[in-house]
A and B are shown apart, each in its own frame.
Chain A
Amino acid sequence: MPESMAAPPPGAATPEPGAPGSNAPGLNGAGPDTAGLGAAASDAAGPIAIVAHTHPSVSKGGAEIAAYVLYEGLRMAGADAIFIAICPSSDRSRLLLGSDREFVIISDQNRYDPFYHLSGSDVWRQLKSILLRHNVRLVNFHHILQVGINTLRALQAETAIPFTVTLHDYRAICAHHGQMVTRPARRLCYAASPAACATCYPEHSRQQFSTRRQIIQSALMQAAGFIAPSHFLAERMIEWGLPRERFVVIENGVRLSGKPDERARPAFGAPGAAAGAGLADSRPWTFGFFGQIAPFKGADILLDTMDLLAKQPDIAQKLRLRFHGSIAGQDPAFVTRFNALIGKNSFASFAGPYDNADVRKLMLACDYVITASDWWENSPVVIQEAFAAGRPVICTGIGGMAEKVPNRRAGLHFRSGDPTDLARAMGEAADDVLYQALCSGLPQVSDQAAMARDYLASFDRLVKSAGAPEAARQPRRRVRASV
């Protein structure tokens, strides 16, 4: 169910997720409206366009996967939807479109400005052509990355098509890959300001950061509404200046495959579920890392943790640490260190890249999934995938991760960037009783259908609200339409 940000629970910026399901009951806004945009059977006005910054066949990031899952869900729900992905011309050969309802905009990476997020005019030209040709009635952008805020401005100025924006990170606020961590020290950042941002990026002036905020805010303000997969992200964006009443929180859905009983939580007695036997202290506990093996995903923290564990053989022999994912493109020093540690420590292994269709099977072979990102994250798909596989998560206790993984109920938290504390959490996790408690507390996971249902309901409500008097649509801070 979508959660409206219009009336947040008193005193709770981030609602405490409780019962199964990422969306606490009672916080949702309007439900599906069969007479509005969500009316799958009555969409005579044309399709909804889901626009992603890339296609999942090219890149396996959380945002593009979430966008594609939504598109699939809308289609499964009978809604008319098309999927439009932006693809750098250099990646064109890797494209694999799923149907004739999927479209691609070829862009030139050299003609993109990642600071103000301005794309080449060909992006808007191609997008406009697709939108008009298919008589699109609503556009849902995922990310402003690659799309460019100029595309949002052009859409607003040259067409009457309403649009919404699903935010997957803090890119609008932060120039540092939208992570809100300082540069180069990678300390957590709590709020952006021209002065602070110019400290991270001395090559840019404070005036440029101020201009950046003004122009991005003014472009985003043209949106009918914003969808955030986490309360944490929504609150950050609201603090930054976007209007609360135009926010909806909808969890990213995951593809749920297999029979329902396979999704059942492991029986009491795990880690037998992972290792295939039932004696807790005779089998090592397996911790799996899934995703891009990169420092910003916390992989370097895991390497530090391996160093610590290697010095404690009595603990190390009870643990297994398994890395799933790609290490391609990482700094050579990091790769060298990673390979050295994997080779030196028998309790660690590198399983290599994986197909997303296999993720559930691979997670089932682990007892815990570790998410160690040193930035706030939003709603990492890997957490939803772990829950869908019935596995608790050990994660950094900050931001979207802390929100999605209630500590000691669906997993364990450790201090950001602290390998000692991660080692402590892993040691604590190797306990049958705790494991069973955590497994029983796992929240229910949103799938394609639920995600699509929530989006359709929200589209309808947001677009209706967009017709409200202009005064009610002003940002909380003064935003100039022009620089």
Chain B
Amino acid sequence: MTSPMVSTELEPRGGALYSGFVDVIDSQKGARGWALNHVDPLDPIRLVLCAGEQAVAETLANGHRSDIISAKLGRAVPAGFAFEAETMQILSTFMDDPNEPITIRIAETGHLLASSGRAPTVGEIVAQLRLQAAPEPRDSVADFEFLLDELRASGATLAEGQLRAQPENLQGYIETLAADTSGHVWFIGWMKRGHVQEFSAVVVERRKYPAAVAVMCYERDDLPADFCGVVGLISSPWRPSSATAELHLFFGLGGRFHLRAHAPLRVITSGELVGEYEAVRERCFGEGRTVVLQRMLTTVENWLPTRVAAQWFATECSIGSILLVPGLGCLVEGWVMSPMKRIESLRLRVGASVMSADPESLYWKPRPDLLATFPGSERMVERAGFVGLFSGDAEPEDFADPVLKVIFQGGSSANWPIAATAFRRLGHSARVEDALPFFPALQDELFFPRFAEAAIRAERAAMNPPVVLSVTRSRRVMVFVLPEDRCDLFLLFEELTQQCRIAGGIESVAFVAASRSNRSDALWLFREFQVGPGATHGIACSLLVIEDTAQAFALLPDVLRELGANRFFFAGAGVFLREAGWARARQALTQGSIDLVFFGVEAAVYEEQDLTEAGVTARCFAWSTGPFMRWTMNAPSFMGGFYRDNGLFQSRLAPIVHQGTASTTRTLLSTRVQEAVNSTVYALSGQNRGLPQARKAATPASLAEGTSQLQQAVA
């Protein structure tokens, strides 16, 4: 798996300017080592990770290395370098020749860093990566139930043996039992630490029942340190009854260990058990399938619709509309008329997900339109309408039997089924603007940063990979996203044709069309270009189709993967190069160039500077595939595809900017909400100067603060 190459060389040989050594190149550790400039030891050397002759990534040798002592300064100098493991994943795009060695070179000199052994090849590293990427077992409910089936089968074998409840093997007690309607038995109790959390078992109550048991543990102050509380699931044909008292649960090798029922044993309803579980939920710990177990537990609560006639007080409820935001929850608008009891909280179940209304988002509003149905209820309708965000892990794939639970003061509750027609799903049947009817001041809500990130994720999840209609792989390629306007589409091909006529020097072009707008015209224009200027000038031509041009930037890694390009130029839809831009684009694609190059895009309007969109934008740039792929691993996405520089500008030490070398025929327009979503995501991604940097560590409060700061900055 690894190629250890340990360095001992520190002194320059033969008057060389540089020394350096590659300590390791590995799929998990990345590439590490050191490099030193003898003339100016404090000037960090720029290094390039190469696959054969192709640049993959670059970095600076400026890491701390106490073992690297400069002969000139007589002390340790920051000469360490590291290409992180993520960088190695980029190598999968360099599989044209898997036998190419992975080497480290000093940028702009070609000087190769030495190593103690043979340099690994691209193919070897990629093979290691594939092994590591082998799928892990999924923690889904379905997988978990499959596991229980297997354990229960083993329990049958266990039941065939002699089972004796030896006092010294008593591991704990079952204090409470509850059965749910799906056939599972749940228990609460305590047991000795150190056992696995899922195991085969045998339930013994007058006779033996093969069983599978899964537990989650929680801290209990009333127990010795080597014991913990447990909430567990028993999957077996056995059911507790009111007479259940003498009960043993054998487990372990040959059924050596056992739990026994506490006397008296409590048998409660599943709803009550969930309530008790909620009380200890915060103290649960453990790995494995605890989360799945928790999810199963929350579904045992009764969500059957309440019959109005069965209520001793008349309550009415209706849901107007629900916007499901995958990964965030549901925005819900509706009304509740409860003449007798005050409403304490609202909960929503969709499939296996149970969501509670966020108190900071929930607000009540008048619904005077209800007076026609409830005459004389003026006071009640003043606070009948409600809107709230129900946070939770609502996944569209798990959409089934939606129910709203209204929990009244005192703990009683009532359930109302929700018509499936009330639902819409963000990223599929709804846009971010559709959240405004729920929360008119959406971008000022505390949950907005979470909403923004979820909206971006939903948009990203809705994207399908490009469909390849024609591909000719090439090292250096110009990627043009075809404009949606038919006239601009014609113009782009004409401009490219004209460049072929008057300048040439184009090696490969790839067009990205959109199935929603221009696919057919793009197809015949592409064929004309392919057999015309393409054939005449020997240009490799490719055509890929995506759904929407706004997805082009997010899908650019997929496009580049299809093209096998190591260096590329990218122009978004509606961007046209000017004469100088064409020359710069050709220059940016010359062999050996590794710089990130921006082409300043301006609106092509005479005497109307208000439309000028000068400056750096991700709508037009050139870069190397390797560093770009690495950047995209943690890069944010944006609504409409672009927002400012998309965070690209700060991804490189010294990007080159050619101002005014491109123009656009369409200014990107976004709605107020889209703009807010993008600016929030931009800020959260840590790319916006001086704004919150740590996306992972951000709490809702800090996110809101970040949004506020950004809004102030914008203002």
Please give the residue numbers on chain A whose beta carbons come within 8 Å of chain B beta carbons, in ascending order: 111, 113, 115-116, 118, 120-121, 125, 150, 153-154, 157-158, 194-195, 204-208, 210-211, 213-215, 480-483
Could you jot down 27 A-B contacts, CB within 8 Å?
Answer: A111-B524, A113-B491, A116-B490, A118-B491, A121-B497, A150-B494, A153-B494, A157-B502, A194-B606, A194-B608, A205-B665, A205-B667, A207-B603, A207-B605, A207-B664, A207-B665, A208-B485, A208-B487, A210-B606, A211-B604, A480-B578, A482-B576, A482-B578, A482-B579, A482-B582, A483-B578, A483-B663
* Known interface pairs A211-B665, A480-B578, A483-B663; 12 further A-B residue pairs with C-beta atoms within 8 A, sorted by A's residue number: A113-B490, A118-B490, A120-B528, A121-B532, A158-B501, A195-B608, A204-B487, A205-B667, A207-B611, A207-B664, A207-B666, A213-B606
Specify the chain B residue showing the minimal Cβ separation from A205. B666
Alpha-carbon separation in the docked complex, A165 to B667 (Å) = 34
For residue A204, which residues in chain B have a CB less than 8 angstroms away from its CB?
Answer: 485, 487
- Report the Cα distance A208→B485, complex, angstroms: 10
Task: Determine how close the nearest CB of chain A comes to the CB of B161; give it in whole angstroms.
Answer: 81
Interface size class of B (residues with CB under 8 A): 20 to 34
Q: B665, A208: Cβ atoms under 8 Å?
A: yes
Chain A min CB distance to B657 (Å)? 20
Known: A150-B497, A207-B666, A483-B663. A116 touches B608 (CB 8 A): no
**Would you give the shortest CB distance from A163 to chain B, in whole angstroms?**
16
Instruction: List residues of chain B with CB within 8 A of the CB of A208.
Output: 485, 487-488, 665-666
Contacts of A115 in B (CB 8 A): 486-487
- Give chain A residues whose Cβ lies under 8 Å from the Cβ of B579: 480-482
Q: Which residues on the A side are within 8 Å of B398 (C-beta)?
A: none
Chain B: CB-nearest residue to A108: B524
- CB of B233 closer than 8 Å to a CB of A: no
Interface centre among B487, B495, B608 (most CB of A within 10 A): B487
Interface pairs A-B: 7 shortest CB-CB: A115-B487, A113-B490, A483-B576, A157-B501, A118-B490, A210-B605, A482-B579
Kindly name the residue among B578, B582, B604 whose own CB sees the greatest number of chain A CB atoms within 10 A: B604
Complex alpha-carbon distance, A214 and B663, angstroms? 12
Contact B606 A113 (CB under 8 A): no
A483 to B487, CA, bound (A): 13
Interfacial residues of chain B within 601-620, with CB under 8 A of chain A in the complex: 603-606, 608, 611
Q: Which of B44-62 contact A (CB under 8 A)?
A: none
A153 cross-chain contacts in B, Cβ below 8 A:
494, 498, 501
Q: How far is the CB of B306 from chain A (nearest CB, A)?
A: 54
Q: Which residues of B contact A214 (CB under 8 A)?
A: 604
Please determine whether A210 and B528 come into contact, CB atoms closer than 8 angstroms: no
A113–B491 Cα gap in the complex (Å)? 9
Q: Is the CB of A116 within 8 A of B604?
A: no
In the complex, A111→B529 CA distance in Å? 13
A207 touches B490 (CB 8 A): no
Alpha-carbon gap, A150 to B491, bound state (A): 9
The residues of B that contact A211 with a CB separation of less than 8 Å are 491, 576, 604, 663, 665
Complex: how many Å from CA A480 to CA B660? 13
- Distance A96 CA – B640 CA, assembled complex (angstroms): 53
B 643-691 contacts with A by CB, 8 A: 663-667
The residues of B that contact A205 with a CB separation of less than 8 Å are 665-667
Q: In the complex, which of the residues A111, A154, A483 has the most CB atoms of chain B within 10 Å of its own CB atom?
A: A483
Give A121 to B532 CA distance when docked, in angstroms. 8
Contacts of A158 in B (CB 8 A): 501
A residues less than 8 Å from B494 (CB atoms): 116, 118, 150, 153
* Residues in B whose Cβ lies below 8 Å from that of A150: 494, 497-498
- Quote the shortest CB–CB distance from B280 to chain A (angstroms): 61
B125 within 8 A of A: no
Interface residues of B in 407-434 (CB under 8 A from A): none
Most chain B beta-carbon neighbours within 10 Å: one of A113, A120, A154, A214: A113
Q: Check if B667 sits within 8 Å of A207, measured CB to CB.
A: yes
User: CA A353 – CA B231 in complex, angstroms?
Assistant: 94
Which residue of A has the minimal Cβ distance to B613?
A: A207
Chain B residue contacts of A195, Cβ below 8 A:
608
In the docked arrangement, what's the CA distance between A257 and B360, Å? Answer: 91
CB distance from A474 to the nearest CB of B (A): 15
> Which residues of A are found within 8 Å of B499, using beta-carbon distances?
482
User: In B549-598, which residues have CB < 8 Å from any A CB?
Assistant: 576-579, 582
Residues from chain B with a CB closer than 8 A to the CB of A120 are 528
Q: Which of B470-498 contact A (CB under 8 A)?
A: 485-488, 490-491, 494-495, 497-498
A462 to B498, CA, bound (A): 25
Chain B residues with Cβ below 8 Å from A215 are 491
A residues near B608, Cβ cutoff 8 Å = 194-195, 206, 210
Which residue among A120, A208, A213, A480 has the maximum number of chain B CB atoms within 10 Å of its CB? A208
Which chain A residue has the least Cβ–Cβ distance from B605?
Answer: A210
B490, chain A: closest CB distance, angstroms = 4
Contact between B501 and A154, CB atoms less than 8 A apart: yes
Q: Given A205-B665, A207-B666, answer yes or no on A483-B524 (Cβ-Cβ < 8 Å).
A: no
B666 lies within 8 A of A113 (CB): no
Chain A residues with CB below 8 A from B665, complex form: 205, 207-208, 211, 483
Q: Which residue in chain A gives the minimum CB-CB distance to B528?
A: A121
Name the residue on B nearest A158 (C-beta).
Answer: B501
